[in-house]
Amino acid sequence: MATIVLTDDHILLRNGLASLVKNLGHDVLFEAVNGLEFTKKLNPALLPDIVLLDINMPEMDGYETAQWIKINHPEIKVLALSMYDNENSIIRMLKCGAKGYILKDSEPAELKAAIEAVMSKGFYYSDLVSGKLIHAINKLDDDDNGLKSLIQLNDRETDFLKYACTEMTYKEIADKMFVSPRTIDGYRDALFEKLHVKTRVGLVMYAIKNGVVNV
């Protein structure tokens, strides 16, 4: 059983989520309408295991709240619950310290799996974010000879990988690195092949797991 806090500005959705969480056998410590209220209600002597955190909220949004949690109470695991399925939102939440990311229209079974995974393994990423990418990245560590040890990134690829972990567009990265967008496409495609990933999210997850960037 996990202790959970719900932070979302949509009252009906939050109430429904609270009922679902309780039906799954977990305790809801309290609810908050935004990050600011969450920080005020949080009792340092009674911290939750997990915060189910919306992204788009007034006063203090999910990004700011996740960052605050990471700095002040890193033992609390953030599970982002959002309507946004775009790469920028996912990447930004990962960088802010989220341990999982699921969509609000997910089935109850996925929320159940997400809570259990975060509690047992410390992270949960749905197929969206995704499980296949996690598997591919974990294989780098599991290989005896270490496929990871065979991966050699040159300086420009490493620089590109770091920039890919920001909110910059590929065009902005090209400007930053003083190269053409076509060259950036080349760096990206080379890394996709080297790291066995298919999306920008996969690049970010590799960078986080292997210490290229700190979260």
CATH architecture entry for 3-125: 3-Layer(aba) Sandwich (3.40)
Rg of the Cα trace of the chain?
A: 18
CA distance 2 to 119: 7
Give the helix/strand (H/E) hosting 32. strand 27-32
Q: Is 159 exposed, middle or buried (0-12, 13-18, 19+ CB in 10 A)?
A: middle
User: pLDDT tens digits, the chain, 215 residues: what are they?
Assistant: 899 999 999 988 888 999 999 999 999 999 999 999 999 999 999 999 999 999 999 899 999 999 999 999 999 999 998 887 776 788 788 888 888 888 888 888 889 999 998 998 888 877 666 543 444 445 444 543 444 444 678 889 989 999 998 889 999 999 999 999 999 999 999 898 888 788 888 888 888 877 787 65
Amino acid at 71: I
Torsion sign, CA atoms 89, 90, 95, 101: positive
Instruction: Tell me which amino acid residue 148 is.
Output: K
CATH architecture classification, 132-209: Orthogonal Bundle (1.10)
Q: How many CB atoms lie within 10 A of CB 101?
A: 28
What pairs with residue 77 in β-bridges?
50
Give span(s): CATH 1.10.10.10, the chain.
Answer: 132-209
Residues of the chain with CATH 3.40.50.2300: 3-125
Q: Which pTM does this prediction carry?
A: 0.64
What gap in Å lies between CA 41 and CA 113, rounded to an integer? 27
